[in-house]
Amino acid sequence: MPRFTFRLVALAALLVAPAAVAGPPAKKPAQHGGRTAKRELPARRNPPGRSIGSPTDGHLVGGAHLNESPYLRIVPFYAPGDARWGLEPLVSMIDNAARAVRKQFPDAVLSVGHLSRPGGGEIDRHASHESGRDADIGFYVKNHKGKPIYADHFVPFRGDGTAATWPGAQFDDARNWALVASIAGNAQARVTYIFIASPLRARLLQYAAKIGAPAAIRARAAELMAQPRGSLPHDDHFHVRIACPPGMDKCVERPVARKRPPAASDRPRWRAPAPPPAGKSAPARAEPPPRRRSPPRPRLRRGPSRARRSRSRARATASCRASRRSSRGSTPSSSPRRSPARGRRPRRRRSRRRSRRPRRSTTPTACSRTLAEAGPLTRARRSGTLVP
């Protein structure tokens, strides 16, 4: 009996040992409604956008979309067309700048206009905004009580902070400088320009110096803010442009003009051939194409000048009058008027009143007949006096 009991205990120990070594059984997957639950995969992230070409001649592949929020709004006039696409650094910079201004001023809401269309390309009323690197940001505006006010479109402001088309509106120096300081201090976006009119630029820098803003931020803002050349002065909004992100080989940093057909002045012209290298004989000289020469102009023979003709006529008239007096035998009360010296013009008495001289008769007098018969005035000068 004891042997039988010992054998049963040994057999039981052998059966229990493998289960203890194997450990606890594996858990079965939970079932929901009779189906096995699938394993959740991480969300697939969209590839980053790519900027191809320049801001004035390019397009956008992919990109990020700028959404509205309690601290950011899209200006109603620029909402149609969904031109709110851009590179990820540009969209993130705008959102972070709006948050920063909202943190300082709890009632501030940033107004945004056009960025780029989906896919980039041309956009109405813009020469750029084609490659996802440009954004139009409206000014912060306040009323006479200091409360922020908003319009349905961008409003131009003058250097004194007033708007000609919006009475009572004022340029909000504090909120606009907070926006510029946030954009200038963003290192990830690599901002290259903040286009704005020169009077408003000077106004913001003056306000920054007044409140004692950090010198580094003021220097960076002064470097970025500028009035564009050959374009509108940007007195109603900020135009922000970022640099090409690293790794985008097809992105062109500086704007380029669109391709156009070559004009007549741009066509290649004939050039003389380059001199031959040392040790080689010069090739046959290429002759330039013959020039088209216009026919020579006929040379006109110039007569006496106008002043010379008037002096000759005055001398002939004076000598004619003197000869007429001598023929009548009358002695003038005063000495006869001498003929002016050669090269001088006779003085003529000017009067403000209208001359009351009688009209000359059309019948030829002796002096007029003599002048007509004399021919050229040179003959009259050679003969001395004209005899009627």
What average pLDDT does the segment 57-72 reach?
92
Please check whether residue 251 lies inside any domain of the structure: no
Residue 198 has pLDDT above 90, yes or no: yes
* Residues of the chain by 3-state class (helix, strand, coil), percent to 5: 30, 15, 55
Q: What is the pLDDT of residue 249?
A: 87
Task: Give the count of beta carbons closer than 10 Å to the beta carbon of residue 315.
Answer: 17
What is the predicted pLDDT for the residue at 275? 59
Q: What is the pLDDT of residue 277?
A: 62
- 285-304 pLDDT per residue, tens: 556 666 666 677 666 656 66
225: pLDDT confidence band, cut at 50, 70 and 90?
Answer: very high
pLDDT for position 124: 80
Total residue count of the chain as it appears in this document: 388
Specify the pLDDT at position 142: 95
The CB density around residue 332, as the number of other CB atoms within 10 Å, is 9
Asked whether the beta carbons of 208 and 215 are under 8 A apart, the reply is no
Which domain covers residue 97, as residue numbers?
50-242
Does residue 367 lie in a domain region?
no
Angstrom CA distances, 221 to 180, 182, 225, 226, 337, stand at 7, 10, 6, 9, 83
| pLDDT of amino acid 307 | 75
Alpha-carbon distance of 239 to 246, in angstroms, equals 22
State how far Cα 222 lies from the chain centre: 19
The tokens of 221 are what?
Answer: 């803002």
Report which residue type is found at 182: S
**Is residue 17 one of the residues assigned to a domain?**
no
Span 10-15, mean pLDDT? 55
Specify the CATH number for the domain of residue 148: 3.30.1380.10
Which pLDDT score, from 0 to 100, does residue 167 have? 92
- CA 305/CA 317 separation, integer angstroms: 19
Q: What is the pLDDT of residues 152-170, one digit of tens each?
A: 999 999 999 999 999 999 9
Percent of the chain's residues with pLDDT above 70: 59
Q: What is the mean pLDDT of residues 183-201?
A: 93
Q: How many CA atoms lie within 13 A of 362 on its CB side?
A: 0
Q: pLDDT by residue (tens digit) across 342-366?
A: 555 656 665 555 555 555 544 455 4
What is d(CA 59, CA 128) in angstroms, rounded to the nearest whole number? 11
Q: First-to-last CA distance in the chain?
A: 192
The answer to whether position 259 is within a domain reads: no
42 falls within a domain: no
Query: pLDDT at position 24, please?
Result: 45
Checking if the pLDDT of 44 tops 50, the result is no
Q: Which residue has the higher pLDDT, 63 or 20?
A: 63
Q: Kindly state whether residue 200 falls inside one of the protein's structural domains.
A: yes
Whether residue 169 lies inside any domain: the answer is yes
Question: Which two tokens mark 285?
Answer: 């000289």
Q: Domain count for the chain, please give it.
A: 1
| % pLDDT > 90, the chain | 40
Q: Is residue 302 part of a domain?
A: no
- Provide the pLDDT for residue 300: 60
Cβ pair 185, 196 in contact under 8 A: no
